[in-house]
Structure 1
């Protein structure tokens, strides 16, 4: 039997799976398609790290490692829902919850004291940050808005905030002494094994990373962000925000960039609360309270300190004396600096641009904002959008063009594969990358506190990326623009490979451009204002940034994007959209039994998964499922059955019912497979007859608290009861 792997992940996507997966299984089974699940949730990954401490009933296999191996094979057909990209506070919270549920897990050791604690921390470090995506993404990314979704957005445009020509909102970035300016790159001439070592000015060399295998043609980058200039830069920006009377905000990626960005985030807090750390820094450090975990973590730990009240008073005074902070939740006093994972640049910057260039202030109102993005690698693209909106006003979703993306991400490409090669430097000296012959291939002078990192990008991944870009340009007729800057070391190396790869492909009649990121952004903005489409062909980080930015402007959300990863081994990975608002959805479900998560991304991914399966296995019924699901999704959008915005309207569970109803009707009326049509005819009729009852049962549970038994690892029985409250729908599905 043909097989699809459906992943169990975290937060709202996991809750939605409890409702939608039974529908998928029933429809697929009827067509001879098997659907299996694999638990790659944060909690599941934690549990899998400590099998020797758990009972047989608690034991979980390492599903992520299993899927990582599957992703390299032609048989792979994986539907990947959004995961938590765990920050340290989230990781610790998940551990604590699992401990209360009876799992004998050790605490996370911030400062390992011995080999046993170092082993514990190493295991936990395997699951923090975005541990899942680099393992599964054994291919490059094809992300776009399906035509049905784009047409719906044009017919029903979402609201965009008006822009003023005198808006004070701007992006500021270092430009010097940062990762972008200090980057050095080399293309390996042959396969080798590299060593990364730190040579202090007054000590023996220290091995930071040994036995780093590299392939012929692989691009190796190394760079450093210098902490002293970072602190000077931050101090200037704090004063600028205060002088201009605008909000101060910092935008990082402390989840995906799980080593470097929490350190940078911590430096923002250290500079903002400079007087606090000068007076009380030793006390905070002794208590294990680090600014890298955010202001909220420090505040939560003050009660245990004898001088906690005095520290709290000093923090309050610093907030009063400084510029007003952008807020995550002004009602609850949650600032931009409270939690590293609360303000993720690829989601927070588009939201600000969509809302007139504003963020929320402490007064609960919108204000112009100084957006601080310390590293200058990609900060300029957001300034280009802000400048365009200031000059031309907000974009119009009813008329604007689309910017699909072809992203270089295969085999841990570029910055997102740097975690195991990122280090905070302990003293003044040099960091060297040395080849197997003992020769230094890359080198940087460093000082105490600096953040040094190395990245890898394999030649096979780059050439596959170029081929995918040409394929999409041929299929759509749209220009394909490589966002590469010849003045940046890494990009210059890629331009040579891209130029060589393009020469080997048929590009006749296609418009292929290579522009710097800012130039590419300006080119794309001009075109989308004219209603024209432009394919962005980018590296891994820009893939993340643009596939939030443009969908949020075009569609109102990045969750409605189709995300296909043609795997290098011949299989397929089908991703279902972003999960940035998932925590708030879970909170609403627990408080009032209403889940606003939009599963459209799951519908889109499922359709192309069936289509891929049909092509690979020859299962004609899988293709029928794909075609009918695609048409049903169009009806779903036209009938506006996405979750409503308030109680009393259908939520995620109601959306799943209507998708099932429209899909059943499409299957019952299609003529490609009469036997399948007959099988779904009675089912479709039953859903029609019971529609009023089903909707009443789904609405009846709203308004009261819902008990799911846990945030990171919900109780299976409790969650199924909450997410499948319609007996009429459950009984109908059982008939299939």
Structure 2
């Protein structure tokens, strides 16, 4: 039986769900559309690991491999260690018997607990659900709205000192080796120490014929030299120092790199107190904030805090997350995520906030050079030509290779911090060495897999989008990078399988592809970026934030390879600051436009799956209602006293009911929605007043990672008039 699955996730999207989902379910029921929920939040995933909740993520992962799949997936938390610990603590306080996260697992029991938590942290959701490649673009209604209501862009100066710093050698990109597997096989990764001792790091890695397998490492000695040089450079150039990583999705490698940045910025601190910190289980990987909180219990706590203050005074000015609260770029590894932080900096004149509360030019440190050139190219373009004009600029939609945990985002279970000097080898079942690297203690080694079927599907999707739009499609692949060279060969092999006559399809290295796309953007022209998994993530924030002011308003369709569909509701993250604002003053700024967009193709797919034309009527009416919603500018305002997320849901519901009442495709639906449309229209001011009346006071939702359903629902549905109107549909 066909069903739409609407996911419960985390933070702001979860809170918005308490308000919007009752509207969806009430409207859908009138057309015989079944909408169910599954909880894939961080809290639910923790509970599932310990048998205290159903494994909803596993269930949806299996569903995603079937033609029946119809999943609306909202943004979720890719938990860093500090977030994971906070969620564990909250669950324990709520009475759930879940163990603490072992800081230094030695016993088999502790190692088993860590293994369970490793399945929750970082990018645990997306690789399971993404059984297809990504088609992400700004709907025409959003693009037109952005042109007629352009968001503010900070002016750029030709003498801006903002730049990107990247390693360029001894990093993941430069050390990469890549092989194409000739036939189905099973791989093993092992470490051979200098004295000949062999340690199996991972075994039983199943690979298929045609699969691309990569291995690479980042030299920790080179990383430390690089970081020291960039800290000195930022001070010499009198710019802010900032680090931009992906400590959530790259949940093994990037927290380690982040820890090295913290150590490099505070060398004296770790020289003097490194042993005491380590003995107390305090890791720089968790960030400066966790360190400062933990040292309060140490005998040397005051001295350590003084050493932190001295390090801040001696080093370059450090970019801030919240200068008013003293939260730096290095406080929390999940606070500064590259795909959101870099576009925000570029949009704001190349500035970040300094400790003095003012904007300033910034040195953006991106250690691995795989994609750093994309951001440097955009910065150089803005320095030369000024800020972009949202009223006239073109668009860069994306076709992303992400199915079946493609590329770096599938590396987590094959990433290791090397314990001893020696060699890391990848061997096939016959014992042949396919990949080999000489490594030193502390080096970060990783392997990735990219299966052949997703690559074929990716090429097909790129051609179909180029055909549908008439825009050039550019594969962002660098022939001088090992992995990309193998993908280029496959792209050239699979393109002739499709009708490309009259289409412009190019292959360019990422920096060159960026320059080409920017030149077209400034002419108002569109260019499809066809990218791998990480660049998909980066580009679907970078260009929408420049074009639209946000990445939350994107349409994200994942045509699943076995049929069915996954509909992701934008790339806007899970907005923890929005939750903090709601708890403080009962105001939620989250914009659910991504949910509105995702629901349209989901309903269209349901109409096909279930043979229910009423679902298509719902979809068409919702599409028109969303256009009205944009034209009437009913997204959440930016301050108290205006409508917030709940008010935007009311207006969408009103416009949707009006469209359904006035459509002529289904007389029964028109009759069913006519009274509701009249009620909502007549009571518009009353409902808005009720929604706004609650603002300004603290809100109790009963939990951050696992809100109390009754409390959260009461907070997110404060209008008695609206609630009764929606209930009247039943």
Alignment-derived partner of residue 235 in structure 2:
242
Matched, 1:227 2:220: yes
Residue 579 (structure 1) shift: 3.8
Matched, 1:588 2:581: yes
CA distance in 2, matches of 1:611, 1:534: 27
1:641 is matched with which residue: 634, 647, 650? 634
Alignment-derived partner of residue 152 in structure 1:
145
Task: Answer yes or no: is the 8 Å Cα contact 1:194–1:211 preserved in 2.
Answer: yes
Matched, 1:721 2:714: yes
CA distance in 2, matches of 1:608, 1:345: 30
Task: Answer yes or no: is the 8 Å Cα contact 1:13–1:579 preserved in 2.
Answer: no
Residue 616 (structure 1) shift: 3.0
> How many residues end up aligned between the 2 structures?
729
Alignment-derived partner of residue 311 in structure 1:
304
Residue 113 (structure 1) shift: 2.0
Task: Answer yes or no: is the 8 Å Cα contact 1:83–1:579 preserved in 2.
Answer: no
Matched, 1:31 2:31: yes
CA distance in 1, matches of 2:727, 2:573: 34
Matched, 1:135 2:138: no
Matched, 1:255 2:266: no
Matched, 1:512 2:491: no
Matched, 1:656 2:649: yes
CA distance in 1, matches of 2:512, 2:534: 17
Structure 2 unaligned spans of 5+: none
CA distance in 1, matches of 2:611, 2:65: 21
Alignment-derived partner of residue 453 in structure 1:
446
Alignment of 1:552-563 (within 5 A): 552-563=545-556
- TM-score norm. by structure 2 comes to 0.99
Per-residue deviation, residues 281-340 of structure 1 (Å, max 9, x unmatched): 000001110000001111001111001111111111011000000000000000000000
My pick for the range that moved more, 148-157 or 198-207, is 198-207
Residue 618 (structure 1) shift: 2.6
Residue 3 (structure 1) shift: 1.2
Alignment-derived partner of residue 2 in structure 2:
2
Q: Secondary structure at the match of 1:400?
A: coil
Alignment of 1:535-684 (within 5 A): 535-580=528-573, 582-684=575-677
Q: Secondary structure at the match of 2:3?
A: strand
CA distance in 2, matches of 1:558, 1:645: 17
Residue 604 (structure 1) shift: 0.2
Task: Answer yes or no: is the 8 Å Cα contact 1:292–1:340 preserved in 2.
Answer: yes
Per-residue deviation, residues 512-538 of structure 1 (Å, max 9, x unmatched): 000000110000000010000000000
Q: Secondary structure at the match of 1:25?
A: helix
CA distance in 1, matches of 2:723, 2:196: 69
CA distance in 2, matches of 1:155, 1:618: 39
Structure 1 unaligned spans of 5+: 52-58
Residue 186 (structure 1) shift: 0.3
Alignment-derived partner of residue 49 in structure 2:
49
Per-residue deviation, residues 102-134 of structure 1 (Å, max 9, x unmatched): 111110002112111111110011000010000
Per-residue deviation, residues 575-610 of structure 1 (Å, max 9, x unmatched): 001343611100110011000100000000001111
Alignment of 1:61-140 (within 5 A): 61-140=54-133
Task: Answer yes or no: is the 8 Å Cα contact 2:77–2:574 preserved in 1.
Answer: no
Alignment of 1:267-666 (within 5 A): 267-580=260-573, 582-666=575-659
Alignment-derived partner of residue 692 in structure 2:
699
CA distance in 1, matches of 2:548, 2:539: 13
CA distance in 1, matches of 2:533, 2:35: 30
Alignment-derived partner of residue 13 in structure 1:
13
CA distance in 2, matches of 1:674, 1:290: 64
Q: Secondary structure at the match of 1:332?
A: coil
CA distance in 2, matches of 1:35, 1:335: 42
Residue 270 (structure 1) shift: 1.0
Task: Answer yes or no: is the 8 Å Cα contact 1:384–1:518 preserved in 2.
Answer: yes
Task: Answer yes or no: is the 8 Å Cα contact 1:643–1:650 preserved in 2.
Answer: yes
2:174 is matched with which residue: 178, 181, 193? 181
CA distance in 1, matches of 2:92, 2:233: 46
Residue 86 (structure 1) shift: 0.3
Q: Secondary structure at the match of 1:399?
A: coil
Task: Answer yes or no: is the 8 Å Cα contact 1:2–1:32 preserved in 2.
Answer: no
CA distance in 1, matches of 2:668, 2:708: 39
My pick for the range that moved more, 307-316 or 402-411, is 307-316
Q: Secondary structure at the match of 1:72?
A: coil
Task: Answer yes or no: is the 8 Å Cα contact 2:76–2:574 preserved in 1.
Answer: no
CA distance in 2, matches of 1:616, 1:29: 16
Q: Secondary structure at the match of 1:130?
A: coil
Q: Secondary structure at the match of 1:481?
A: strand
- TM-score norm. by structure 1 comes to 0.99
Q: Secondary structure at the match of 1:256?
A: coil
Q: Secondary structure at the match of 1:559?
A: coil
Q: Which runs of 4+ in 1 moved over 3 A?
A: none
Residue 506 (structure 1) shift: 0.6
CA distance in 2, matches of 1:721, 1:578: 28
Task: Answer yes or no: is the 8 Å Cα contact 1:667–1:680 preserved in 2.
Answer: yes
Residue 203 (structure 1) shift: 4.2
CA distance in 2, matches of 1:274, 1:66: 47
CA distance in 2, matches of 1:414, 1:110: 29
